[in-house]
Every structure is written in structure tokens, then in C-alpha cells.
Amino acid sequence: MPAPTNPLHLAVALDGAGWHPAAWREPDAQPGRLLTAAYWAGLAQQAERGLLDFITIEDGLDLQSDDRFGRDDRTDRVRGRLDAVLIAARVAPVTRHIGLVPTAVVTHTEPFHLSKAIATLDYVSGGRAGVRVQVAGRSDTAAHFGRREIPPLSLERLAEPEAQRLVAGQFDEAADYVEVLRRLWDSWEDDAEIRDVATGRFIDRDKLHYIDFEGRWFSVRGPSITPRPPQGQPAVAALGHAGVPYRLIARAADIGFITPRDRAHAAQIVAEIRGAEAAAERKVAHLFADVVVFLDDSADAARARRQRLDERAGAAYTSDAHIFAGTPAELADLLLDWQEAGLTGFRLRPAALPHDLAQVTEELVPELRRRGAFRDAYPEAGWPATLRGLLGLPRPENRYGPSAASKHSVA
């Protein structure tokens, strides 16, 4: 297969001991370290050794469950997790290049708080922050907060008009949430901090701006209490499986994660999102396909390991994403084939940690490099060293800068 014109972008999605529910029982798993900073730092450093663009860190506002619509009572699964944004802030000082994209639930939280947290992450990482926005549609999750009631949903009820309106409303709320984030990140101009000891002026108040956002779900005046992040706006990501979340990607995200079954399906999804972008009069720079990976030196060994994990879990593993079991070279074939559907990258979900992450960084990446499909090194300095720079995303202009209307200025 000829080398692609555009090199791949690669990310890994980190979740507990891995995406397979029995991964924590593998011989090289580290279940006793899942709630330690050292565990997450080690995974991030392993990903960085593989020159990956970024890691994402899973999170939620409820206990993990095999039932996507509610709690389960299983005791043979990993339950409990740390806060993804705080994990990212902890691993930032022990990494230098890789992007850090924690998941944040936006259904029950406030955009002002998250904007400050992600701006802080961008500062402590030197411009490597992003955030994956996620909605929370479970009724038991809403009960943690007591601010709204969400009726119980099921797979069968999703086809009902009332359930569809509820889901559409949650994603519309997420789009407004992202708009507030971006406005708050822009509410300080880049040179708002003067820091002039001689005159005693630390900030120029004319360069701090009200955002005056009024919407159905949020009313936020601003400005932020954190200066504009190094990237201007950290990269925003979202995961989509169907039309409604595809529209969120098109309206609000810099990076979209999608879950195609094959190359043809990937092309259909890309076309749908590009059409939604045109309607929204914007363009998403990157679409990443999610793939769960079981990787070994031989395809038979990879399939046997998946079968062993399934037997321990008591059921065959299923996923919203495509599941691949084989060698790194075979995975490289798949990635380069699917890339032709219009994808610019892949987010790989290691089935078991650390095994499959090491296979990605130590076997898959060298294979892609041999084919001329992946970078040989990170940029050492300058704009490309940021997450936006790695992804080829420009630094956004500040909407409240010199050309903005003076009525937004904080007097």
C-alpha cells in the first residue's frame, strides 16, 4: 500500500485498566494502582514515547455500569474513578509534548468552572490542553445534583418523540456550553496583563470583556477570572454515534470522534458531518475514528487473548466502536485504508492496559513510520509544540479584541 499523502494523527483513549471489562484481571494489570497519580503518569509517558498527538481520559458523574441507561450491581468490574481534569493536571508536569484531553460532563456542571479548569490545564501544560465534552442522560445521575429530573430511558424508548426531544435538548445544551467556554476563554485579550511594576498596573481593564451570554440553559456575564489560555482556546472534542451528536461536532467541536464499522461507513459519517458543518457555516479540522484494539505478535494470539478475557467476563465483549484483534501491521493496514474515507486520525482504545498501549507505541507506531505515515519526532519549539499546533489548528483570534464593539469592555 502506498504511503498516504497526509500523515496520520493518533490518539489513545485511557479508561481504568482498559476497555475490556476483565482487563483488570490480566497478569500485567495494576488494579491496586488505578487510583494513584503514578499509574496515570506512567500511561501518559508511555503514550508520549510513542509520539502520539494526545490522550483522552474517560470520566463520568456516575459509577461505571454495563447498562448504559442505569446502574448495575456487578462486583467483578472496575468501579470508581478519579476526576479526569485533575488527572490531566497531575500528569502535565511529567510530560512535554503530548496533548491532554480529559472528559468533562456538561449536562449538570457549570461552564464557568470548566472554562477556568481547562484554561489552568493549558497553562500548566504549556499549551497542550483540550477537553472532550460529554452529555449525561441517566436519571440516577441527575439525582446526584437535584437540579432537574430526567425520565428513565431505555433502548426501546429512544425511538419515542419525547425521548428524542430530550436527547436533542441535551446536545443543544452542550453546544451552548461550548459557546460559553469559548467566550470565557476570549474574555481576556492576550495582552490584558501589563505587569508594570513602575506604574503599579498589573492589568488593563479595558482588555477584559463581558461575554453577556443569554441562552435557554445559561446566563453568564463574565469575564473569566483566568487570563486567556496559551492556545487562545484549548481544543474541544466530542464523540458522536448518530445525527444529533454529529450536529454537535459540526456546530461546536474542533475534533470529532466517530465510530464507523468499516471504510464505507466512515465515508458516510464524514459526509454527514461535513454537510452539517456547511449548514452551521463552520468546518471541523479533524475527524478521528475510534477503534478498540487487541494487539499481539500474531493474529491468533490476539484473538485468543480476547477470547480469554471474554471468558473471564462471562460474555463476549461488545462496543460502540469497531473491535480489532490482530497484529500491529494488520492494524496499520486497516488505519491507512480507512484514512482514505476522509479521516485525519484515529483514537485507539486499548482493550487492556498496559499491554495494548505498549503494542501501539512500540509496534504500531514504528510500523507506520516505516510506511511514511507517522511523524519521526515531536516539534521541539514554537507554535507546533502546542496541541493545536500538532493538529494543524490555528490559534483563534480573540472575538473581543481591538475590532470588537467597545460596549463589551469592562469599565
Residue 2 within any structural domain of the chain: no
Mapping DSSP to helix (H, G, I), strand (E, B) and coil, where does residue 103 land?
Answer: strand
Provide the pLDDT confidence category of residue 5 given band limits of 50, 70 and 90.
low
| CATH number of the domain bearing residue 140 | 3.20.20.30
The β-bridge partners of 348 are 12, 291
| The pLDDT of residue 256 | 98
Residue 381 predicted with pLDDT over 70 = no
Continuous segment of H or E residues that includes residue 2: none
Residue 327 predicted with pLDDT over 50 = yes
Quote the mean pLDDT of the chain: 92
Residue 201 within any structural domain of the chain: yes
- Nearest Cα neighbor of 229 from 281, 201, 192, 283 is 192
Q: What is the pLDDT of residues 196-218, one digit of tens each?
A: 899 999 999 999 999 999 999 99
How many distinct structural domains can be found in the chain? 1
Residue 224 within any structural domain of the chain: yes
| The pLDDT of residue 185 | 98
Provide the pLDDT confidence category of residue 143 given band limits of 50, 70 and 90.
confident
| The pLDDT of residue 385 | 83
- Nearest Cα neighbor of 85 from 42, 47, 115 is 115
Residue 3 within any structural domain of the chain: no
Residue 45 within any structural domain of the chain: yes
Residue 157 within any structural domain of the chain: yes
**What is the reported pTM?**
0.94
| The pLDDT of residue 25 | 97
Residue 113 within any structural domain of the chain: yes
Tell me the CA distances in angstroms from 212 to 179, 187, 215, 218, 366, one per residue in order: 12, 10, 10, 10, 50
Query: Which stretch of 162-176, 295-309, 337-351 has the lowest confidence by average pLDDT?
Result: 162-176
Residue 4 within any structural domain of the chain: no
Neighbours of 129 (CB within 10 A): 32
**Which residue range forms the structural domain that includes residue 331?**
9-408
| The pLDDT of residue 405 | 52
Query: Which stretch of 26-40, 64-78, 325-339 has the lowest confidence by average pLDDT?
Result: 64-78
Which residue has better confidence, 29 or 1? 29
Residue 136 CB partners (closer than 8 Å, separation 6+): 60, 61, 62, 105, 107, 108, 142
Continuous segment of H or E residues that includes residue 194: strand 193-196
